[in-house]
Chains A and B, each alone.
Chain A
Amino acid sequence: MGEMLAVKGINVYYGSIHAIRDVSFHVDEGEIVTLIGANGAGKTTTMHAISGLLKPKSGEIVYCGQTISRMEAHKIIRLGLAQVPEGRRVFSGLTVQQNLQMGAYTRRDGKDAIQADFDMVYDLLPRLKERRSQAAGTLSGGEQQMLAIGRALMCRPKMLLLDEPSMGLSPLLVKEIFKIIRDVNRNGVTVLLVEQNAKMALEIANRAYVLETGTIKMEGEATELANNIEVRKAYLGAQ
């Protein structure tokens, strides 16, 4: 299994604020890797730098052997790198079906292939099927999160970036969402997961990185980090 994504010493600024300092990490094909950290640690900034919504000032991001750190966001998705953004950001005025169709916006492989993926997504997320002709804005938070994931899957990604998928959801729904993420990964999609909910993230991830005030503080196997005393104190609520 080769390296799929490599982030090499990137620095990202918001105006004059230096949000990300020399961050480096990598994700191998087939893995679930998680980036955990507190609010404001730079997790979302890192995600936006990868998906192209923000441009790093220095450093390089390589995806499947191609440098993407200077590429525009709408071209990066065409390489099979999809992002489920923080706060879901579904198109509330469009229906569930139209939102999924937007996910397939870049595809040119014909109606049948896209229809097959509609079936796949509705199979994976049956609740969306019931609500297919409903405006996305009328869905509950959990359903919107499912829609955001389904929408990203519609482009047939090789790799999925998930930004805080558990945010604002009840513990039961969080469990459901994490089960979905695991299923997606079993179907062959590599996952990079950003989470504040470190406990759940470390449970499903292979490896993890800890991000603190814009730099990587720790890295290792997920099970290792879950037992690390510092991580347990800072992120898992241990005494």
Chain B
Amino acid sequence: MQFLSYLINGISLGSVYALIALGYTMVYGIAKMLNFAHGDVIMIGSYVVFFAFGSFGLNPVLSIVLSMVVCTILGVAIERVAYRPLREAPSLAVLITAIGMSYLLQQVAQLMWTSNAKSFPSVVANSSIFKPVSLFDGQLTISAETIVTILACVVIMVLLLYFINCTSAGHAMQAVSEDRGAAQLMGVNVNATISLTFAIGSALAAVAGALLCSSYPSLQPTTGAMPGIKAFVAAVFGGIGSIPGAFLGGILLGVIENLSKAYISTQLSDAIVFLVLIVVLLVKPTGLLGKKVNVKV
């Protein structure tokens, strides 16, 4: 029974990683860059929810929607200001810019909101729809946060797969991801597609932030850093560039992390997560669902 409880909590944590990993993997697939500022967009989004819902008592759903809007604007603005001028630059320059952007966001957050941890109010705590579920005569309790997190992740995944595979804009994204030049020859505006990708990724980051902080209620300017890195690991684990891969990688990572916390060691759980990544990359360098890409010269 305990195992089941650890497993479900792991899936919930993994769902958050999956949502964040989607942002990494989509941006990598379309823009061929690693946006290391992605984790800090989550942090900003969480602060928006904290103030809107926690301080001003706005409806939780509206607070998350507001946070999604702010993060979307932020994500698109970051791309426009910091990454677009480097479109033709070497990838190392873009990578360093992304790391710099990550620190910039953290420092700005620290200046505005200090580094003191704020206690984040759960967005589902007083919900009338989602209640904790008690199973097996109370031996297993699943919190409302866990249920909402897993549900949100599944719904978003289904919507995203529909968007990518069944809409014209989704096909354009796949085309840009596969061959930017050929997509342009079809009339696809590559810059607009990249902006759209950042918009979607950042909106998902806002959702992930609110869910993460509801389960782990401590918010400070560095809150986004560790989940960001782990989601990046999840994206690589699942095969970077692959959307189902990000989903699978995220869930597996969350489960591995939670089970190793429960049965091996709380201190070592992060190390175990990264160890698993190293082993997977040694055995299958493209990740679990990654495709081998033949680079043509």
Interface residues in chain A, defined as those with a beta carbon under 8 Å from any beta carbon in chain B: 51-53, 72-75, 77-78, 82-83, 85, 87, 89-94, 98, 101-103, 105-106, 151-152, 155
Contact = CB atoms under 8 A, between A and B. Distances in A.
A74 B182 contact: no
B192 to A, nearest CB: 9
A94 B174 contact: yes
Contacts of A106: 186-187
A29 B62 CA distance: 58
Contacts of B175: 91, 94, 102
B189 A93 contact: no
Nearest to B193: A74
Given A94-B175, A102-B171, A85 B181 contact: yes
Contacts of B296: 87
Contacts of A87: 296
Interface string B136-177: 000000000000000000000000000000001001101100
Contacts of A51: 185
A101 B182 contact: no
Contact of A85 (B168, B182, B187): B182
B186 A151 contact: yes
B11 interface: no
A103 B185 CA distance: 9
Chain B contact patch, size range? 10 to 19
Contacts of A53: 181, 184-185
Given A91-B175, A91-B182, A106-B187, 8 more contacts: A77-B185, A91-B178, A101-B168, A105-B168, A105-B171, A105-B186, A105-B187, A106-B186
B290 to A, nearest CB: 13
A72 B182 CA distance: 13
Nearest to A148: B182
8 contacts: A72-B189, A73-B184, A85-B181, A89-B182, A93-B178, A102-B172, A105-B172, A151-B186
Contact of A82 (B172, B185, B189, B190): B185
Interface string B260-297: 00000000000000000000000000000000000010
A57 B178 CA distance: 28
A98 B296 CA distance: 24
Contacts of A77: 185-187
Contacts of B168: 101, 105
B174 A103 contact: no
A51 B186 CA distance: 11
A76 B182 CA distance: 13
Contacts of A75: 187
Contacts of B172: 102, 105
A103 B181 contact: no
Nearest to A84: B185
